[in-house]
Amino acid sequence: MARAFVQWLPVEMAVLGLFEFVFSFLLIVAMLMGGGPLLASGSGGLTRDCLLLSAMLAVTIAGVAATIRLYRPDVCLDPRRLLVPCVVAAFLAFSAILLVSGAYRIALGVDHIVWLARLLAIWLMGAMALRFALCMAARWMPVTRRVAIIGVADRVDALRRRLSARPHGLFEPVPAAAGLVPPGGPQTVRDGRVWGVVIAGEEGLSPPDRAALLARKSVGTPVFTELAFQERHLGRVALDAIDETWFLTADGFRDSTVSRAVKRVFDIGFSLFLLVLTLPLMAVTALAIRLDSPGPVLYRQVRTGLFGASFTLFKFRSMAVDAEAAGAPQWARVRDPRITRSGAFIRATRIDELPQLINVLRGEMSLIGPRPERPMFVAELSQAIPFYNHRERVKPGLTGWAQVNYPYGASVEDAREKLAYDLYYVKNRGVLLDLMILFSTVRVILFREGAR
């Protein structure tokens, strides 16, 4: 289950999470000792019920914060991005706390709601203060890990560009010469300030390189293959480093009858819940589409599903009726002129995807999985990208690991990038990873990440 926590948590982020958990626990204890309404007795004092309830609520808050990836370095280390993620975490934690309180058999009234709102408001201010302090401390104590990448030249350059392009990323690529210093003991390693070494193609190593790598590893420097580094720290599969043997021998890719049954039950239950919850929103959306442009409210399109089977996908129509008058399928573009006024909003907020809950209930899709593509695109991409059809080992999803980690794709190269994340999901799928994706989807929708 640890595979779900794909993004390796640096010590600084783990310490921040521990501080926030302790802060939450002590805050709740202090408020309950003052006679909080959540306790059955309503009286103050440090009692067993007080400690137990405080622990449960603190774990709930910490779990929500971690699940929506509030401890990502690009969020924690950018002062401009502190407010909105923390507010989202507080809002989701408020809902989660209400559920936990109900499970704790507490009759929730107006005074309870006010008390919980006050608790979350104080937590929000404390979390903001802790993160702002971390941002200030990072100026004097950088948390970035310096990584030396060696091996085949084109793969080395590609990985360097990938790490350099990540905003406020955890890893900084450095010249190989800084990573493979001559053997000189621990002091030489410390002086190099290189956290780890990544081998991007073993065939690109010379005998002196291998000797230097062994010396570095013997004094505690992490040494990774490109495949292991990207999977563990970037949450993706390095496509240039895999072959058929990897699919046969790699850990993961497990799919038992029990896990399929559990996921199906979850899909049905959660889809019915979302349909009931969003029914008023879908009614308003249907009216807006009807008033905005002529044509049907729903858009039907053939997509490719599990093991290549075709099915009819439902979406709210966001483009003009004659969007593909030429007859050939087209990728959506930035500021696509075919998108209607209402379509621009429902695509940005992902409301256009809600009718796909029908596909989930029919068993053609799952809540979590790779994005379903059109058969013509699948045929094209399967020819251009090795192992593309392996993403069809699982049902396509309403949301997925690629959707929450990579923006909307509109080219073969984008499809290749998303495949790296899709294969990671196919290999490591499980309950915890699915829950992480669901919470991350909330972040993507609220921050309008990747929509087109």
The domains of the chain, with CATH numbers, are: 2-138 (no CATH), 145-234 (3.40.50), 257-447 (no CATH)
Selected residue with higher pLDDT from 87 and 185 = 87
Selected residue with higher pLDDT from 94 and 286 = 286
| Rounded distance between C-alpha atoms, residue 254 and residue 260, angstroms | 10
Q: Is the pLDDT of residue 315 over 90?
A: yes
> What are the tokens at 153?
């030249």
| Rounded distance between C-alpha atoms, residue 153 and residue 170, angstroms | 23
Residue with tokens 């808050």: 61
* Interval 106-141: pLDDT, tens: 566 777 778 778 888 888 888 888 878 877 776 666
- At residue 102 the predicted structure's pLDDT band, cuts being 50, 70 and 90, is low
- At residue 447 the predicted structure's pLDDT band, cuts being 50, 70 and 90, is low
* Interval 316-360: pLDDT, tens: 998 887 766 665 666 666 667 788 888 888 888 889 999 999 999
Angular region, 72: left φ>0, alpha ψ -120 to 50, beta rest: beta
**Helix-, strand-, coil-residue percentages of the chain, each rounded to 5:** 60, 10, 30
Q: Comparing C-alpha atoms, which of 430, 271, 433 is closest to residue 353? A: 271
Q: Is the pLDDT of residue 280 over 90?
A: yes
- At residue 213 the predicted structure's pLDDT band, cuts being 50, 70 and 90, is confident
Q: Is the pLDDT of residue 396 over 90?
A: yes
CB 68 within 8 A of CB 442: yes
- Mean pLDDT, range 157-177, rounded to an integer: 79
* Interval 18-49: pLDDT, tens: 888 888 888 888 887 776 565 555 555 677 77
Q: What is the DSSP letter of 233?
A: I
pLDDT recorded at residue 123:
83
Q: Is the pLDDT of residue 276 over 90?
A: yes
* Interval 214-240: pLDDT, tens: 888 888 888 999 999 999 888 899 998
Q: Does the predicted TM-score (pTM) go above 0.85?
A: no
**Dihedrals phi, psi of 431, to nearest 5 degrees:** -60, -45
pLDDT recorded at residue 130:
80
Q: Which of 167-171, 283-287, 310-314 has the lowest mean pLDDT?
A: 167-171
